[in-house]
Amino acid sequence: MKTPPRLQPLVADGLIDEVVDRLMSGKEADVYVVRCGDELRCAKVYKEAMKRSFKKAVTYTEGRRVRSGRRSRAMDKGSRYGRREQEAVWQNAEVDALYRLAEAGVRVPQPYGVLDGVLLMELITDDDGFEAPRLAEVAMSPEQALEDHALMMEYVVRMLCAGVVHGDLSEFNVLVDPYGPVIIDLPQAVDASANNNARAMLLRDVANMTASYGEFAPELLDTRYGEEIWSLYEDGDLHPDMPLTGEFEDPEEEADVDAVLAEIQAAIDEEEERLERIRDAEETD
């Protein structure tokens, strides 16, 4: 096929020998099958921020650390340099997460690096060498569903022990090859300890996985793995090989609604003050 403009620099530099096919076009990126020497790999071409449709990206980027104070201020201010740096942070977050999760024992595609907004990584295939299907496209026996769900819960635990919550885990972000599930699409991965939305995202990730596998093993639908995992994490008792039960009892004490509302208002006030400082800085420039 004709080489897309965003991939032409990688072809010119010899990192890609041939663009074989377009694998998919999504909200965040276009993905191509490319040939690199004797291997077929994936080339994920990130879309620019203005062209992306990922909702509430700020929710996912909360808590991401930027070492340079100048870069951080530019990103807050929204200057051209800041927007460019924010894009780099967004793209590098996926590479960082892939390396971190692979080291933690989670099955993810092997990354080969990011260049000019293009992530080169391993192509996950089926027995015949074709692109592996997504979980949404796979039917399985109840026994296989229970086995794969247990493995996915193990991956969620290992991710959390590594300080990562996927944040958008669903049947469309899991590939299934001959060895089981492989987790993909991690640019929105969040820092579990620094993002205030981490708990809600983890519960949603687990609920999505349970619903998908529960289609074939309905007994999974009555489990509460998400709450169990997060409770163990909060108590400091979670470790990578933690045996899970899928059971959880809600605490008996009532929620302190006034305290929650006070925290929300404090966060709103803090954000207004931050925006005011940015406006003042812009007027000074």
pLDDT per position as a tens digit, 151-172:
999 999 999 999 999 999 999 9
For residue 24, give Cα distances in angstroms to 8, 29, 72.
18, 8, 33
185 is catalytic: yes
Of 1-5, 219-223, 244-248, the poorest mean pLDDT is in: 1-5
- Distance from C-alpha of 90 to C-alpha of 73, rounded to nearest angstrom: 16
168 is catalytic: yes
Task: Quote the pLDDT of residue 52.
Answer: 46
Of 88-92, 217-221, 240-244, the poorest mean pLDDT is in: 88-92
Catalytic residue among 30, 148, 168, 205: 168
Q: Domains, the chain, ranges and CATH?
A: 5-234 (1.10.510.10)
Catalytic residue among 13, 185, 237, 280: 185
Beta partners for residue 19, in sequence order: 34
What is the chain's percent helix, strand, coil content, to nearest 5? 45, 15, 35
pTM beyond 0.75, yes or no: yes
Residue 27: closest CA among 41, 7, 42, 46? 46
Residue 41: closest CA among 110, 123, 132? 123
Write out pLDDT tens, residues 67-91.
545 544 444 455 565 455 666 677 7
What is the overall mean pLDDT for the chain?
86
pLDDT, greater one: 174 or 84: 174
Task: Quote the pLDDT of residue 66.
Answer: 46
pLDDT reading at 203 higher than 50:
yes
Task: Quote the pLDDT of residue 208.
Answer: 97
